[in-house]
């Protein structure tokens, strides 16, 4: 278990992998009683599906991804949609913080190899959220900068070009096989780590190392556990 050669970079998905992605909590809070308890779980599940659908077409700012996914979900379930609700949900994003242990693991790993973020956040949110992690990142790449969202293959092509590396020269870390590990595998990134936070099913055939504790990440690079 682990990686034999030291990569030039370790690249990370951010929201849901390092930052606690709290959009469901935000929608429950903003919608309040207008989201009936008996359909709340369905609303959140369908909204997640529409978010990824909105990310696979022509680029639009993430506040529009949030708004369009909430609007489509509301229409499907017969609920009222208010643009100001979507904006309120979007504006909670920069307040989100890291999962436990993330800051320590990142700083430990950064002593050995440069860290990079590639995120579906807008540029301003990407900057704020990366600062919330309190760890050193060489580069933070936002969807706004790329003009494309993961899981589009162009996002990973952009990252490789910007970093000036070949796919075998980095390790990519994400909690999402769907958004990250599938496209990463397609563009030739063999060294991958699945930080399993229970969001998705394990797709072990994609050829990643699977961990359930972020403290195990530096161990994969030969560092002793603290």
User: Where in 13-150 does DSSP place strands (E)?
Assistant: 115-119, 139-142
Token pair of 93 as six digits:
């994003």
Confidence of residue 131 (pLDDT cuts 50, 70, 90): very high
Cis peptide before 149 (omega within 30 of 0): no
pLDDT tens digits, 150-209: 999 999 999 999 999 999 999 999 999 999 999 999 999 999 999 999 989 999 999 999
pLDDT reported for residue 5 = 79
Q: In what order do the strands lie in the sheet with 115-119?
A: 139-142, 115-119, 9-12, 170-174, 192-195, 209-211
Q: Among 204, 197, 190, 199, which residue's Cα sits nearest to residue 52?
A: 199
Confidence of residue 124 (pLDDT cuts 50, 70, 90): very high
Phi, psi dihedral angles at 191 (to 5 degrees): -90, 105
Cα distance between residue 163 and residue 86, in whole Å: 34
Report the C-alpha dihedral over residues 7, 13, 16, 18, rounded to 10 degrees: 50
pLDDT tens digits, 22-42: 999 999 999 999 999 999 999
Burial 56-75 (b: 16+ CB within 10 A, else e): eeebeebbebbbbbbbbbbe
Q: What is the mean pLDDT of residues 138-161?
A: 98
What global pTM score does this model have?
A: 0.94
């Amino acid at each position: 278990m682990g990686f034999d050669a030291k990569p030039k970079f370790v690249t990370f998905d951010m929201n849901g992998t390092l930052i606690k992605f709290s959009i469901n909590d935000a929608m429950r809070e903003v919608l309040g009683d207008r989201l009936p308890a008996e359909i709340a779980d369905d609303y959140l599940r369908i909204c997640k599906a529409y978010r990824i659908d909105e990310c696979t077409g022509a680029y639009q700012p993430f506040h529009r991804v949030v708004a369009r996914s909430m609007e489509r979900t509301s229409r499907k379930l017969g609920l009222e949609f208010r643009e100001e609700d979507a904006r309120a949900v979007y504006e909670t994003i920069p307040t989100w913080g890291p999962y436990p242990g993330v800051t320590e693991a990142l700083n430990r790993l950064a002593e050995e190899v440069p860290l990079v973020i590639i995120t579906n956040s807008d540029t301003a949110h990407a900057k704020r959220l990366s600062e919330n992690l309190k760890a050193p990142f060489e580069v933070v790449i936002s969807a706004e900068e790329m003009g494309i969202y993961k899981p589009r293959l162009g996002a990973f092509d952009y990252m490789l070009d910007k970093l000036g590396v070949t796919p075998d020269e980095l390790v990519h870390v994400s909690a999402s096989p769907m958004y990250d590990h599938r496209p990463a595998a397609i563009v030739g990134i063999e060294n991958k780590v699945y930080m399993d936070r229970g969001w998705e099913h394990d797709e072990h055939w994609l050829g990643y190392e699977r961990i359930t504790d972020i403290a195990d990440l530096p161990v994969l690079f030969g560092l002793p556990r603290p």
